[in-house]
A and B are shown apart, each in its own frame.
Chain A
Amino acid sequence: MALQSLDIARRSATTTPAPGVRQTTEVAKLIDVSTCIGCKACQAACMEWNDIRDEVGSCSGVFDNPVDLTAKSWTVMRFAEVEEKGKLEWLIRKDGCMHCADPGCLKACPAPGAIIQYANGIVDFHQENCIGCGYCVTGCPFNIPRISQEDNKAYKCTLCSDRVAIGQAPACAKACPTGAIQFGSKEQMTDYAAKRVGDLKSRGYDKAGLYDPQGVGGTHVMYVLHHADRPELYRGLPGNPSISPLVSLWKGFAKPLASVAMAAVALGSLFHFVMKGPNEVSKELEDEMEKEDAQ
């Protein structure tokens, strides 16, 4: 859509900047893990809004269903029973794309325009440009994108970019019965989170805090955690996520370095040829052979 291109901040595999005159407010989805009851209404809403239905799996001995994100399950609840000092907590985290300000998926993607970061912070996959290589999975610090077995394209949470574009909240936020998922500007969400953290601290969770990891430039999906000092309790939420240095190298410095090196070898060969001339077999040896043949 013509109007949409004005809201793009970054495109994957594109060396030139996107149009950037319009200024949009950055949005954020705030997930308050302390208020979540693990009812999976968000999973149901996501399936209904996006018309995606995953396979009916099986019970693997936990409440997680499906057990992992897939190309057709863009959000899953991850359950963790944590018992410490005689106190049992059932920590339930809604897993899905964090919509990083510095997206690892976008950095790694080789297909121009397959991954787009909008000016409002949403990172969206444009599957029509996706080549299905899976580099996005390699680049993501949170292990989110999944390649579909059916069409070999990458899929993940879109933060309901289509709903947000017309001023609505994402489907999951709309459906959440406890108000654990809030949506608004990043500033509003940070303020709301501060209130929630204050409330948690007053109830004895003195390590409560907001999870907005700066290692990826901050994220547009944030968590209020009871134990912000130990994100690993929440089923593998990384403590200090950042784009892997291997990915930064591979998609950063290596590119111009290798291109220049290959061009240098090619040009070097050309210049060697014109400067040194070809390496011919010497005339004496040719004459020697002719004499031998004549004998």
Chain B
Amino acid sequence: MIRNPKDLTRYNAQERANHWLVGICFILLALSGLAFFHPAFFPLTQLFGGGVWARILHPFLGVVMAAAFLVMFFRFKSLNVMTAADKEWLSRAGEMIDGNDHNMPEQGKYNGGQKAMFWAMSLCMLLLFVSGVFLWRAYFNLPVDVVRLGAVVHSAVAAFMIGVTFVHIYAALWVRGTVRAMVYGTVTRAWAKQHHRAWYRQVTGKS
């Protein structure tokens, strides 16, 4: 991999570390969570040292993920405010998915799809955290109807978030040159010019 010194910095070291902390926690939470959700996945608890350990660790991992995500939320929320261009992008997202991305409206650092992903994940994280606390019987003893609601919300939102995360991961893999941004922090100028032209102009000062 040849690194061109003219490559643009998209994420600094703290942002990358923060993202991967959230990501690793999420994967561990998804694996242990699926084990509690469906008996077919229960053997996944062996990855954590057994059912009891999975049950102990899952909520603590959730707290770590929520705290790390909160930092990301405040760091990136102003960059994810929806604009008219984003709404147009979303209405034509079908073209993008088809592979035909040359007629999309100009994008800033994040396109409409990414912004929608940000808000979806933020809402999911909040719901998961609150419902997770409701379920954490080791430390909290809430009325049973609250716990029942928490169970339904937690599992539904978790399943949804796993699906949404698959999309997030896939999109990063599908658009070549994207994963590099979060692993090394840089992207090529051509990548930026193609996918986020307005951001490219803002960062380089060129048209």
Contact = CB atoms under 8 A, between A and B. Distances in A.
B205 interface: no
Interface in B130-145: 135, 137-138, 144-145
Given A15-B39, A133-B137, A147-B137, A265 B191 contact: no
B85 interface: no
B40 A15 contact: yes
11 contacts: A15-B40, A131-B55, A134-B137, A246-B149, A250-B151, A255-B37, A261-B159, A262-B162, A278-B176, A285-B190, A289-B6
Contact of A281 (B36, B167, B170, B177): B177
Interface string A247-275: 10110001100110110011001001100
Contact of B144 (A112, A131, A143, A273): A143
Interface string A129-165: 1011111011000010001000010000000000000
A244 interface: yes
A108 B50 CA distance: 19
The 7 closest A-B pairs by CB, nearest first: A134-B137, A258-B159, A131-B51, A269-B170, A13-B39, A285-B190, A246-B148
Given A134-B137, A143-B144, A279 B39 contact: no
Interface of A: 13-15, 108, 110-112, 129, 131-135, 137-138, 143, 147, 152, 244, 246-247, 249-250, 254-255, 258-259, 261-262, 265-266, 269, 272-273, 276-282, 285-286, 288-289, 293
Interface string B57-79: 00000000000000000000000
Contacts of B170: 269, 272-273
Contact of A258 (B39, B156, B166, B190): B156
A255 B149 CA distance: 16
Nearest to B30: A262
B137 A277 contact: no
B163 A262 contact: yes
Interface of B: 6, 35-40, 42, 45, 50-52, 54-55, 97-99, 101-102, 135, 137-138, 144-145, 147-149, 151-152, 155-156, 159, 162-163, 166-167, 170, 173-177, 188-191, 193-195
A152 B138 contact: yes
Contact of B42 (A13, A152, A265, A277): A13
Contact of B194 (A246, A255, A281): A281
Nearest to A283: B190
B37 A277 contact: no
B54 A258 contact: no
Nearest to B102: A282
Contact of B163 (A111, A261, A273, A278): A261
A156 B14 CA distance: 50
Contacts of B40: 15, 259
A61 B6 CA distance: 79
A93 to B, nearest CB: 20
B12 to A, nearest CB: 23
A110 B176 contact: no
A16 to B, nearest CB: 10
Contacts of A261: 159, 163
B50 to A, nearest CB: 8
A279 B101 contact: yes
A281 B137 contact: no
Contacts of B98: 276
A8 to B, nearest CB: 16
Contacts of A266: 166
Contacts of A282: 102, 190, 194
Contacts of B177: 281
A276 B156 CA distance: 30
A255 B155 CA distance: 9
A281 B176 contact: yes
Most buried by B among A254, A278, A279, A285: A279
B30 to A, nearest CB: 9
A110 B37 contact: yes
A203 B194 CA distance: 90
Contacts of B145: 244
A293 B170 CA distance: 32
A143 B147 CA distance: 12
A250 B152 contact: yes
B200 to A, nearest CB: 10
Contacts of B147: 137-138
B52 A138 contact: no
A119 B14 CA distance: 59
A139 to B, nearest CB: 8
Contacts of A277: 99
